[in-house]
Amino acid sequence: MGTTQLEAAPEPKYWHLRTVLSEALDSEFSVGEILPNERDLAARFGVARATLRQALEQLELEGRLQRRRGVGTTVAPPRVGVAVASTDEDRPGASADAWQVVDSALDAAPAAVAGMLGVRAGESVHVLRRRRVSHGQTVAAELLYVPAASVPGLTAIDAPSGPARGRAVLRELQRQGLDGQDRAVELGSVRAEDAKELDRLPGAPVLVVTTRYFSKGTTAAVAVATYRADTCRLTFGDTPSVEIHHTPESHAS
Amino acid sequence: MGTTQLEAAPEPKYWHLRTVLSEALDSEFSVGEILPNERDLAARFGVARATLRQALEQLELEGRLQRRRGVGTTVAPPRVGVAVASTDEDRPGASADAWQVVDSALDAAPAAVAGMLGVRAGESVHVLRRRRVSHGQTVAAELLYVPAASVPGLTAIDAPSGPARGRAVLRELQRQGLDGQDRAVELGSVRAEDAKELDRLPGAPVLVVTTRYFSKGTTAAVAVATYRADTCRLTFGDTPSVEIHHTPESHAS
């Protein structure tokens, strides 16, 4: 496959079907409803199963359909806006922080992260596993990497790992003071370790947000967060007074 | 399919294959190299074609592989960082604006956009089609919606449409002064109209950035931009002095 298909007409069959299906979703189905099986759908629209699947995949990418473990394909609710950057809540450990520490350990950072942090490859750093819950659902899983040098005042308590240790690392990071951050957003796929927590299959599309936190001119911490791409819109606002992404109306796209 | 597969083991076969393939890409292939065809690859790794395809799709989502019209599947170069929000360059029409006006017309905005702009459904607004080029490649296509009320000083020149008219709308919008913006980033699929410009097939995954521009307490304009998800990382920085997303080093992920 591949090449043959890639050279096809500018408006392929599956794209047309996607539009027809999208209209059917609007007029005949309600949120949460389970779609008929693929065989019945393909017969109804007079297309091959492969074409149908491509159209369904498109609608899944667009957040119109959801495939859920043990349920099948359902009509998705509108995506929920999740604030990624605004005022204070994006500083790890700040009071408005929307993240929960799940676990913490000392471990080597991946090469790319070690590079951003300016530590040697293989050098142990604090690795905090965090989760973000919104509207009762886990919307993101994160690994936050904090080199020992960023938290010099961390007291040597007994436990070298665990959530309590993670919270202590965050408090100390917060105490050091952060002067800013920058972010990159890109498309990725769910790692096997995060799949269960996010209720997705390994490899499902996600939005990967990499944040660098700066303190005193150096990169004090790096977070790599994986947001569910099917249910979330990431919102970025520099005008908090007019942000409305927490009101129900803005959740409809 | 669907349900059966969704209930499978936590580490499915395609996920394992993705990891093995990813290592093969690192050790045996270089950027731009064309992969062997699917039959040969499936035979080499001892898997079914369907499993192979799933693994290839994963690696495409992650930006490791690229499927290109008439070429096939190639090893992708590292994604390029594209600045979405920083200082002034995100104000439409500002001197550092990275967008080119391709066309302009008066047209009705989609219902969701009309709602954000506070105009009646079906009411004509200025619709500017813009493109963003980075490193010699079109990385994004955008529709910018500007209601007549946002550009009151726009002079009635002869042409009601076209790129020159679009630039006049931007100049007037800029003259009115913008006080801020907010953004949402979500996963989407390429519309048929944008597919050719972005050199992708209709329906390919993209990052959709919706920006609301505020002026005097109202939403003066709304932009819906479609970024290639395969080649771009979107960068957001509030600390321009330490941003390094335009240097080559940061392009590697």
Q: Is residue A154 part of a domain?
A: yes
- Which pLDDT score is estimated for B253? 36
Which residue has better confidence, A7 or B129?
B129
- Which pLDDT score is estimated for A66? 86
CB contact under 8 A, B67 and A2: yes
Same domain, A140 and A224: yes
- Which pLDDT score is estimated for B247? 32
Q: What are the residues whose beta carbons fall under 8 Å from the beta carbon of B119, sequence distance 6 or more?
A: B109, B125, B147
- Which pLDDT score is estimated for A12? 80
Closest Cα in chain A to B196:
A10
CB contact under 8 A, A238 and B85: yes
Domain ranges, residue A177: 80-236
Nearest to A185 among B67, B73, B207 (CB): B207
Q: Is residue B171 part of a domain?
A: yes
Residue B107 has pLDDT above 90, yes or no: yes
Nearest to A188 among B61, B182, B196 (CB): B61
CB contact under 8 A, B61 and A195: no
CB contact under 8 A, B187 and A207: yes
Residues of chain B found within 8 Å of residue A53, distances taken between Cβ atoms: 1
Same domain, B181 and B67: no
How near does any CA of chain A get to the CA of B203, in Å?
6
d(CA A42, CA A52): 6
Closest Cα in chain A to B67:
A2
- Which pLDDT score is estimated for B10? 57
pLDDT tens-digit profile of A14-44?
A: 888 998 998 899 889 999 999 999 999 999 9
Contact A101, A130 (CB under 8 A): yes
CB contact under 8 A, B3 and A233: no
pLDDT tens-digit profile of B66-105?
A: 877 677 899 999 898 898 875 455 567 665 568 899 999 9
Residue B111 has pLDDT above 80, yes or no: yes
- Which pLDDT score is estimated for A243? 30
- Which pLDDT score is estimated for B97? 63
d(CA A90, CA A109): 21
Same domain, B159 and B45: no
Mean pLDDT, rounded, for A75-93 = 75
Same domain, B92 and B44: no
| Residue where a domain terminates, one of A51, A75, A99 | A75
Nearest to B238 among A10, A182, A184 (CB): A182
CB contact under 8 A, A181 and B229: no
Same domain, A195 and A162: yes
Q: Is residue B15 part of a domain?
A: yes
- Which pLDDT score is estimated for B192? 84
Mean pLDDT, rounded, for B181-191 = 92
How near does any CA of chain A get to the CA of B143, in Å?
16
Q: Is residue A114 part of a domain?
A: yes
Q: Is residue A184 part of a domain?
A: yes
| Residue where a domain terminates, one of A40, A75, A110 | A75
d(CA B93, CA B178): 11
- Which pLDDT score is estimated for A2? 36
Taking each helix axis as running N to C, give the angle between helix A49-61 and helix A13-28, from 0 to 180 degrees, rounded to the nearest 10: 60
Q: Is residue A43 part of a domain?
A: yes
CB contact under 8 A, A180 and B207: no
pLDDT tens-digit profile of B230-246?
A: 889 999 875 433 333 33
Closest Cα in chain B to A230:
B187
How near does any CA of chain A get to the CA of B172, in Å?
22
Mean pLDDT, rounded, for A216-221 = 92
- Which pLDDT score is estimated for B57? 86
| Residue where a domain terminates, one of B19, B40, B75 | B75
Residues of chain A found within 8 Å of residue B230, distances taken between Cβ atoms: 187
Q: How much of chain B exceeds pLDDT 70, in percent?
A: 84
Q: Is residue B118 part of a domain?
A: yes
Contact A205, B61 (CB under 8 A): yes
- Which pLDDT score is estimated for B86? 55
Closest Cα in chain B to A227:
B186
d(CA B143, CA B101): 10
Tell whether ipTM is more than 0.85: no
Mean pLDDT over each residue of chain A, to the nearest integer: 83
CB contact under 8 A, A15 and B203: yes
Same domain, A60 and A98: no
Band of residue B158 on the pLDDT scale cut at 50, 70, 90: low
- Which pLDDT score is estimated for B196? 86
Same domain, A57 and A32: yes
Burial grade of A186 (CB within 10 A; 0-12, 13-18, 19 or more): buried
- Which pLDDT score is estimated for B1? 36
- Which pLDDT score is estimated for B4? 35
Q: What is the CATH classification number for the domain harbouring A166?
A: 3.40.1410.10
Q: Which of A87, A187, A210 should we substitute to test contact with B (largest number of B Cβ atoms within 10 Å)? A: A187
Mean pLDDT, rounded, for B52-59 = 90
Same domain, B148 and B180: yes
CB contact under 8 A, B203 and A243: no
Contact B92, B47 (CB under 8 A): no
Same domain, B35 and B141: no
Q: What is the CATH classification number for the domain harbouring A36?
A: 1.10.10.10
Same domain, B90 and B170: yes
Q: Is residue B31 part of a domain?
A: yes
Nearest to B182 among A3, A188, A243 (CB): A243
- Which pLDDT score is estimated for A84? 87
Mean pLDDT, rounded, for A177-200 = 88
Band of residue A131 on the pLDDT scale cut at 50, 70, 90: very high
Same domain, A87 and A211: yes
Helix (H, G, I), strand (E, B) or coil at B187: strand
Q: Please tell me the total count of domains within chain B.
A: 2
**Pairing status of strand A205-215 against strand A218-228:** antiparallel
Nearest to A67 among B6, B70, B79 (CB): B6
Closest Cα in chain A to B62:
A188
**Pairing status of strand A205-215 against strand B218-228:** unpaired
Same domain, B86 and B43: no
CB contact under 8 A, A203 and B18: yes
Band of residue A85 on the pLDDT scale cut at 50, 70, 90: confident
